[in-house]
């Protein structure tokens, strides 16, 4: 099971990713050096959206789709 997630950083920006373990990945983003470079200095981040997928391929396709959306549409998706 893969999970697509959107995090809101302390500076208000949004970060989208996929993982198999959401708690571990959020901790990596917030407290270690193995999180995404984008997140460095922007933490702590909070989970604002997630969706489950059966396989990595579908999760990755949806991740690409969401990353291409304008900010306003991402915020609408979160709500």
CATH number at residue 39: 3.40.1440.10
Using CA atoms, how far apart are residues 1 and 19, in angstroms rounded to an integer? 9
Range of the domain at 18: 2-78
Q: Looking at residue 41, what is its pLDDT?
A: 81
Q: What is the pLDDT of residue 49?
A: 97
Helix (H) or strand (E) holding 76: helix 71-78
pLDDT of residue 40: 81
The angle at the Cα of 68, spanning 56 to 26, to the nearest 5 degrees, equals: 55
Cα-Cα-Cα-Cα dihedral sign, residues 9, 62, 20, 33: negative
* Count of structural domains within the chain: 1
| Secondary structure E strands in the chain | 2-8, 14-19, 46-53
Beta bridge partners of 1: none
Residue-by-residue pLDDT tens, the chain, 79 positions:
999 999 999 999 999 999 999 999 999 888 877 777 788 887 789 999 999 999 999 999 999 999 999 999 999 999 8
pLDDT value at residue 14: 95
- Model pTM greater than 0.85? yes
């Amino acid at each position: 099971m893969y999970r697509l997630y959107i995090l809101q950083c302390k500076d208000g920006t949004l970060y989208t990713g996929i993982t198999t373990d959401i708690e571990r990945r959020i901790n990596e983003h917030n407290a270690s050096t193995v999180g995404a470079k984008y997140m460095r200095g922007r933490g702590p981040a909070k989970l604002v959206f997630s969706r489950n997928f059966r396989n990595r391929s579908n999760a990755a396709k949806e991740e690409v789709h969401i990353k291409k959306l304008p900010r306003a549409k991402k915020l609408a998706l979160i709500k």
